[in-house]
Amino acid sequence: LIPALATIILAFIRMSIALREAREIKDERELARTDELTGLPNRRRFINALSALENKEAVLLLLDLDGFKQINDTLGHEAGDELLRQIAVRFARQIPKDSIIARLGGDEFGAIIYGSTEHGFEIAQALRASLAYPADIGSHSIVVDVSIGAVTNDGQPELMRRADQAMYFAKQNREGVTL
């Protein structure tokens, strides 16, 4: 009876260790696909979602903050990081549950909005409008704008490159959002 009980106890211990290790692996995978600063999905997760689009009706948005470098240079990286965190929260609030917004790096974000071109354009406008009021960073009230390139998933190649071109066009021409 004692060897049987010992075997059962050891089996439970081994099972609890295996479950803990599985949770740790899951947490590590999640961290590998999450931007550490903002908590948003990172570039890796975004590219995976983009490659899974296939023939789904969706709009790809690339967003680049206007004037961020100057803020980072004058107020410091800590202020810049805090600004990015606040912007990430604002952006995440505007995104529908079935869509994704990610920090791609620096002051660049990407979003995949599922639905029609009109719906994607409305979300792009809402993202831009979310920056209309200032962010309070320490004793500073900071206002930034965003340039957004939007491309409909039309089955054509190089969706990311086309969205990047639209975003740079929006930035150069101060249009806000370019489809």
Which sequence positions are flagged as catalytic?
107
CA atoms within 13 A on the CB side of 127: 31
Q: Which residue has the tokens 């800590």?
A: 78
Residues 109, 103 contacting (CB under 8 angstroms): yes
Write the DSSP assignment of 16-59 as a string of letters.
HHHHHHHHHHHHHHHHHTB-TTT-SB-HHHHHHHHHT-TT--EE
Residue 146 CB burial class (10 angstroms; 0-12, 13-18, ≥19): buried
CA distance 177 to 4: 70
Write the DSSP assignment of 50-108 as a string of letters.
HHT-TT--EEEEEEEEESHHHHHHHH-HHHHHHHHHHHHHHHHHHS-TTSEEEEEETTE
